[in-house]
Amino acid sequence: MRASAWWITALVRLYPRGYRERHAAELASAMHACIDRERQRGVNASVTTVRLALDAVSASILVRRDLRRSRRLLPTLHGDSLMQSLLHEIRYSIRLLARAPLFGALVIGTLALAIGANTAIFSVVNGVLLRSLPYESPERLVLLNKGVNFQETFGFSAPDFVAFRERARSYDGLAAYRTGEFELSGVATPERIKAAKISASLIDVLGVQPALGRGFTAEEDEGRQAVAILSDALWRRSFGSDPSVVGKAVMLDRRAYTIVGVMPARAPFPSSGPRLNNVPAAVFVPISFTAGELRAFGSNYNKTVVARLKPGVSIEQARAEAAAISRQIGADVYPAELRDLGSNLATTVTSMQEEVVGNVRRILYVLLGAVGVVLLIACADIACLMLTRAAGRERELAIRTALGADRGRVMRLVLMETGVLAVAGAAVGVALAWWGQRALLAAAPIDIPRAQEIGFDVRVLAFTLTVSIAAALLTGVLPAWEASRRDSNTALKEGGRTGSAGGVRQRRIFAGLVTLQFACAVVLLAAGGLLIQSFVRLMAVDPGIKTDHVMSAATSLPASSYRTAADVRSFYGRLLDGARNLPGVTAVGASTELPLTVHERRVFTLENPPAAAANLPRATAHDVVLGQYFEAIGARVVSGRPFSDSDTLTSEPVVIVNETLARRYWLGEDPVGRRLAWGNPNNHGPWMRVIGVIADIKQTGLAAATEPQTWQPWVQLPDQLLASNVVSFRSLRLMVRSQGPPAALVPAIRDQVRALDPALPVSDVQTLDDIVAASGGPQRFNAALLGGFAGIALLLAALGVGGVLAITVSRRTQEIGVRLALGADAGAVVLMVIRQGMTLVAAGLVIGLPLAFAATRLLKSLLFETTPHDPVAFTGATVVLCAVACAACAAPAIRASRVSPMRALRLD
Amino acid sequence: MLRPLPDLPPHWFQILLALADEDRHGLGIMNDVLERTDGRMKLWPGMLYRNLSKLVEAELVVEVDTPPGAASGGGRPRFYHLTPIGRRACAAEAQRLNGFVQAARRKKLLKA
């Protein structure tokens, strides 16, 4: 090595590494050669050294600059690895987008909205439908219910359950449960909590072990011991997650229950569903059938049975066995006088998963399909934008092609840009979805099952990734293809002008994309329109009550503090009197059930029924009421009178019926004065005289047909019933009608209750308006979501047609200028542009309407009094779509009409 | 129709000219240019190699394998070869310069 080597090495080190590695040896030897040469020419060595140093410094700076520039423009010409070149391309795409922030923001915003909506809906679909239930081998869990051919299903009675369990061979285990409520006291604020009374075997049937402690033993169940298992939520909320809670007491209905276990958070029970329809229980106690309950054939069909199929037993086999057992029980186990009823009872077997999520499956898939369509429309919008942008990049891409980039590489460059946009859109979209999913659940009606299990998991993120890749491809492939097929020479010659050659072709592509958007939009609009119309019709249904200015609140008297019937009567008597004397109150009543959610069904018998009605099934919805109940809820008395103070425990038992019952069983004759009784003709209770007929009130929501219904005065309930632990007669829902806003009464009502019993919680405070609105909740939710998606779709489609027209107009500026110069008037130009836009919209309609016609059939089960091909909804969708499209076309049309002929002609 | 080529910077022209008759390595180019211009154009190593990279990028020259028995410039030097485009660009530049020379002749600044 020569002596000068170190500073030459130092100079070489000035260059960037990749460059240095390639050229170091040559640079060094060239520098040595220069030193030798200059020395021979008699130049001072130090002068040469300075000269070489200056050269190295300036060359290294320029090399670095070249590298930066070429990374931007020519990523892979350095022989980098594929990964490196991809990184370069990504960086380059980001830089390009940074130079067009508005474009970037628009595309990312649109994608975020579409991807976010897809992610949010998918997360719900995933949580509700795709994830299996949080129990062991949930596919083997079934729910058993009883049903009579003509009616909805209901639960088992205690003797039915015992008899069925003894005979069934298809199951590894069976358990019964029924839901209820308890007053939770001994905590900061007494409250009413949801409870489930369960067979000891339930925990084994579900295959869920308590997180703390243990489940119930058979002895505790049979021995009616006061033991309780807490839900995870209650354990955290009211017991501060105390790990030593097992063995301590919890006060339920003012009785001490020993806590034996805490259920795990991941397995709430019961799940809600069409028949389960419950929020998960906060506390579990043994179901502990009494001897009386076990003998009570023909009543209290209120226990749901959960069973685990033996491995290998199909649900069809279980159904066949259940049918046989039901016949056997009806014939052999039911007492002779109830054989009639018993032999009519069938047993239904449904998979638990189906039971829990069956009723929301359709709407969730419809919503998922709808957001998918929104994504498609958004992608078409972005594809139009990208096409325009790719046209602007033509010169750059042509240079690349001229410099050796092949077609695939040019496509990759354009796709890279949409890829970067899709990733950014997905990132914002996931954040939106996170927020949107919460908003969705908050807005959702209570009966979205498994709502607490909805969240983001790997599957949701994988879905988002797939959607984003699909979006990148959908938006990018067409512009990329178009960019890559442009001839580089033409592009370079045209100098970036988007000229006529690609123009016709591109206009066709734009036309295709806009047509596609409107075809999709009309499908969503028709579907949204149908659901909105269905909702409007539902809300127009007369519930049979005047819902304004009425407040409802529930109280339930624990048997441990209110031991006798007199205690119970006295409490409610004083509560109603107190409430009636509150200022502004016009009527006060109470009932065991709420209007629109009447659960109780009874079998009844008519005295001397008309022959034509003799063979009708005799089941009626039933409610027990107190005070001025009918006045409070604004029910209309059609005939006879409402209950009054003259109806007492000692007077003749009376009953009020609704119009449907009167019409169906007395065939339109006035039933006032006739008599009916609970039970069967050959085994019935005491006769009750019909004293009035009330105009129909909906019992199971606005959408359901009105059933026959009866009302009985609470004061005529026998003492032993009120004194017993039958909660339903001790829990009354106060109905208070007032002149002012009903919410203003709430504190006064709470004070009334507190004055009578400081420990008694008041629950379910709501207005009658809320109750009716809640009944339309699912329909409102469906209509709002699908209507919202249709609105977004329409907006995106309008942006699409508006944008495409704006591009077309700007490209035809010259032509339009010539027309105007030749004397065309502005109106004609406006019409020409609008016609051009509306032609595409019309094409979209021609394709979209038949599609909509086919697609809306899927909505059939979700519609109320609306056919899937409702002409009003379809016409409405078409009109709205045309109006919005017309408005979207107007802006570019007006701009076209204002083109200055002179400027247009100078443009080139 | 061939694309018109832009004017070449003088040192690019000299480098291309050096490669017009044979493939050379960097040091060879440096010396050739120095001799041909009577020492008027000195290509210093840093600038020489940077410009060679740019010429490769523009596809006017390509790197080729070291020809057998070629004069070594230290280690295993890279040899450069004029591409057809490079040759055309160099010829076009020479033509352009020739035009100036002709003009100078016509104006009697140079002898014919």
Q: What is the residue extent of each domain of chain A?
A: 5-73, 138-357, 358-539+777-906, 558-759
Q: Which residue of B has its CA nearest to A16?
A: B50
**A107: confidence class by pLDDT, cuts 50, 70, 90:** confident
pLDDT tens per residue, range A659-668: 999 999 988 7
Q: Where are the beta strands (DSSP E) in A108-190?
A: 141-148, 153-154, 171-185
Q: For residues A578 and A752, give the distance between their C-alpha atoms in angstroms, rounded to a whole number.
A: 7
Q: Considering only A322-326, A664-668, B101-105, which range has the smallest mean pLDDT?
A: A664-668
Q: Considering only A491-505, A565-579, A783-797, which range has the smallest mean pLDDT?
A: A491-505
**A734: confidence class by pLDDT, cuts 50, 70, 90:** very high
The answer to whether the Cβ–Cβ distance between A59 and B50 falls below 8 Å is yes
**Within-domain flag for B4:** no
**Within-domain flag for B99:** yes
Residues of chain A positioned with their CB less than 8 A from the CB of B49:
23, 26-27, 30, 59
**A265: confidence class by pLDDT, cuts 50, 70, 90:** confident
Residues of chain B positioned with their CB less than 8 A from the CB of A60:
46
Is residue A858 over pLDDT 50? yes
Per-residue pLDDT at A497: 44
- Report the 3 state secondary structure along chain B: CCCCCCCCCHHHHHHHHHHHHCCEEHHHHHHHHHHHCCCCCCCCHHHHHHHHHHHHHCCCEEEECCCCCCCCCCCCCCEEEECHHHHHHHHHHHHHHHHHHHHHHHCCCCCC
State mean pLDDT over A274-299.
Answer: 79
Per-residue pLDDT at B70: 61
Q: Which residue of B has its CA nearest to A488?
A: B3
Residues of chain B positioned with their CB less than 8 A from the CB of A55:
44-47
Q: Which residue of A has its CA nearest to B54?
A: A66
The answer to whether the Cβ–Cβ distance between A28 and B26 falls below 8 Å is no
Per-residue pLDDT at A576: 94
Per-residue pLDDT at A445: 66
Longest dimension (CA), chain A: 140
Q: Which of B48, B53, B76 sits opposite A30 (nearest CB)?
A: B48
Among B35, B44, B59, B80, most A C-beta atoms within 10 A, so best to mutate, is B44
Residue A587 zone, left/alpha/beta (φ > 0; ψ -120 to 50; rest): beta
State mean pLDDT over A84-90.
Answer: 77
Shortest distance, CA A23 to any CA of chain B (angstroms): 8
The answer to whether the Cβ–Cβ distance between A63 and B45 falls below 8 Å is no
**A150: confidence class by pLDDT, cuts 50, 70, 90:** very low
**A86: confidence class by pLDDT, cuts 50, 70, 90:** confident
Is residue A214 a contact partner of residue A258, using CB atoms and an 8 Å limit? no
Q: Could you tell me the residue range of the domain that residue B26 belongs to? A: 10-106
Q: Which residue of B has its CA nearest to A403?
A: B58
Q: For residues A5 and A480, give the distance between their C-alpha atoms in angstroms, rounded to a whole number.
A: 52
Is residue A446 over pLDDT 60? no
ipTM of the complex: 0.90
The answer to whether the Cβ–Cβ distance between A66 and B49 falls below 8 Å is no
B4 close to A (CB below 8 A) = no
Which residues of chain A approach chain B closer than 8 Å at the C-beta?
Answer: 19, 23, 25-34, 37, 41, 51-52, 55-60, 62-63, 66, 70, 74, 77, 402-404, 489, 492
State mean pLDDT over A1-18.
Answer: 80
State mean pLDDT over A48-76.
Answer: 80
Which residue would you say has higher pLDDT here, A500 or A469? A469
**Within-domain flag for B69:** yes
Tokens 């590894």 sit on residue: A172
Q: Where are the beta strands (DSSP E) in A300-453?
A: 304-309, 345-351
DSSP secondary structure string, A450-484? TGGG----HHHHHHHHHHHHHHHHHHHHHHHHHHH
Helix axis angle for A407-443 and A394-402, nearest 10°, is: 140
Per-residue pLDDT at B56: 87
C-alpha angle A604/A610/A612, rounded to 5°? 100
Which residue would you say has higher pLDDT here, A318 or A807? A318
Shortest distance, CA A811 to any CA of chain B (angstroms): 28
Within a 10 A sphere around the Cβ of B101, how many other Cβ atoms? 12
**Within-domain flag for B111:** no
**Within-domain flag for B23:** yes
Q: Model-level pTM?
A: 0.70
Per-residue pLDDT at B5: 54
Within a 10 A sphere around the Cβ of A94, how many other Cβ atoms? 16
Q: Which of A23, A52, A57 sits opposite B49 (nearest CB)?
A: A23
For residue B60, give the CATH number of its domain: 1.10.10.10
Eight-state DSSP code of residue A596? T
The answer to whether the Cβ–Cβ distance between B73 and A26 falls below 8 Å is yes
Strands A550-556 and A731-738: antiparallel
Q: Which of B3, B26, B59 sits opposite A26 (nearest CB)?
A: B26
pLDDT tens per residue, range B19-62: 999 999 998 999 999 999 988 888 999 999 999 988 888 788 98
The answer to whether the Cβ–Cβ distance between B45 and A66 falls below 8 Å is no
Q: Which residue of A has its CA nearest to B59?
A: A403
Is residue A570 over pLDDT 90? yes
How many structural domains comprise chain B? 1
Residues of chain A positioned with their CB less than 8 A from the CB of B28:
none
Q: For residues A863 and A534, give the distance between their C-alpha atoms in angstroms, rounded to a whole number.
A: 6
B49 close to A (CB below 8 A) = yes
Most confident of A143-147, A203-207, A699-703: A203-207
The CA R_g of chain A, rounded to the nearest whole Å, is 38
B30 close to A (CB below 8 A) = yes
- Residue A308 phi/psi, 5° resolution? -110, 115
